Amino acid sequence: MSQHRSSGNQRAVRDVVFVDGVRTPFGRAGEKGIYAGMRADDLAVKCIRELMRRNPELPADRIDEVAVAATTQTGDQGLTIGRTAALLAGLPRTVPGFAIDRMCAGAMTAVTTTAGGIAFGAYDVVIAGGVEHMGNHPMGEGADPNPRFMSERLVDPAALNMGNTAENLHDRFPAITKNRADAYAMASQHKLQAAYGTGEIQRDLVPVATMKPGQGWTVNTADEPPRPGTTLEDLAALKTPFRAHGRVTAGNAAGLNDGATAALLASSDTAAELGLSVKMRLVSYAYAGVEPEVMGIGPVPSTEKALAKAGLTIGDIGLFEINEAFAVQVLSFLDHFGIADDDPRVNRYGGAIAVGHPLASSGIRLMTQLARQFEEDPTVRYGITAMCVGLGMGATVIWENPHHADYSGTDIETAGAVA
C-alpha cells in the first residue's frame, strides 16, 4: 500500500503499519486446561490491556476502532465482543468496536478489515484481535448447517469436518505420506522448543492468572499444548480418528485450544506523530475460495493473488508464517511453490501443531512471530502470513520488513523506536 499525497476532494491512500502484537499463552481446551472456568472475553481483555501497557505513547482516546474475531459468537464470545472487550479493558467509552467471523482467519480478517479503514483514512489507530475458548465453545457448537448442503449435494459431507478435509488432501497429493506429515510435525515441536529456549516466544506473551478450586491461583506464562520431546515413534503410534488406516492424527494436526491475541495497527504518519514502533508494513492481502472438501489447499490461491497484487513472486518472500492446522495443509503449500519441507524460511519458531490453534485468534500469532523474525533478520525484505480457513478458503497477508535496507515505507527512525 503506497502512500499518495493529494489535495482537494481526492482522498489519500495511506501506508498501514503493524505497531505491536501480543497473545495469551495458549491452553488445551477442556476441564483440565489452564483456562477451564475462565471467560473468553476476559482473555481478549488481557491482550488489549497489555497492548496499552506496552505502548504508553498512545493515548487511549486516539484508538478509532476495536475489532475482535470469534468463530462461535455466543455466550462469553458474543454480544459484539469487540465493543464489550473494549469497555471491559477500560478504553474510553467513545471507542467503538465490533465482532468479526471468518472461522480460523478471524483475527487475520480483523487486521485486514481495519487496515483498509486506515488506508482509506477512516481510522488512524485500531486494535484488532481474536479469541477462541474451545473449552467453553466446542467447534461447531450450536451450528445449524442448512439442509440444502446435503440434500442438494452442494458440498461433500466431509467438508463439515476439518479432519476429513485433511484426509481428502492426502488423497489428492499421495506424495504427502503420513511419515512425511509426522516428520514435519516433529520438526514443529522442536522448533518451538528452540524458540522458547532463546526467549523468542515469551517476549509477546501476556501472563494470565487463573484460579481453580482446591489449587488456588496460578500465573500462566507459557503455552500448554507443546510436547517438546515428541519423536517419530510417538507419532507413528497414534490413532487416525477420521479414517481407518488414515494419515491425520492428533500429532500431525493442531489441537483444540483456548487463547486470545491482539494487535495494534496505525497509519505510518500517525505512528510517526505519536512515536509508535513500526514492526511491519502491510504490502497486500488476499482471500480465496476453494473446494470445501479440500479446504487446506486454500493458502495456495490466496498467496498467488496476494503476490500478484503486490507485484512480487514467491522468490521475493524471505519468511513464511503458515498456520499449521494440519501438516498436510502446509506441505501441500510448500510442494506447490517448490519449497522444501525443512526450508529455514518456514515457521522458524514452530507452528500451530506445537503451540496450538485457538481458531479465530491464530492469525495475529503468525503476525507477531513474523515481526520478531523481521527484527532478528534485516536481510529479509518481505514475509507472508497465511492460513487455510474452514468451508474452503485461504487467507494471505504480505508484509515488509522496516529493518531492511530497501524498506519502501516511512523511515523507522522517524516513526519511533522499534520495540
Helical spans, DSSP H, in 55-177: 81-88, 106-120, 148-151, 162-172
Nearest one of 282, 275, 265, 316 to 412, comparing CA atoms: 275
Give the Cβ contact number of residue 139 at 10 Å: 16
Single out the catalytic residue among 47, 104, 170, 403.
Answer: 104
d(CA 281, CA 398): 9
Torsion of CA 228, 234, 240, 244, to 10 degrees: 170
d(CA 279, CA 15): 13
Task: Give the 3-state secondary structure percentages of the chain, helix then strand then coil, rounded to 5.
Answer: 35, 20, 40
Single out the catalytic residue among 47, 137, 170, 388.
Answer: 388
**Known catalytic residue: 190?**
no
**Known catalytic residue: 357?**
yes
The answer to whether the Cα torsion of 185, 187, 191, 197 is positive or negative is: positive
**Known catalytic residue: 137?**
no
d(CA 189, CA 196): 11
Q: What is the DSSP letter of 154?
A: S
Single out the catalytic residue among 133, 137, 170, 357.
Answer: 357
Active-site residues: which are they? Answer: 104, 357, 388
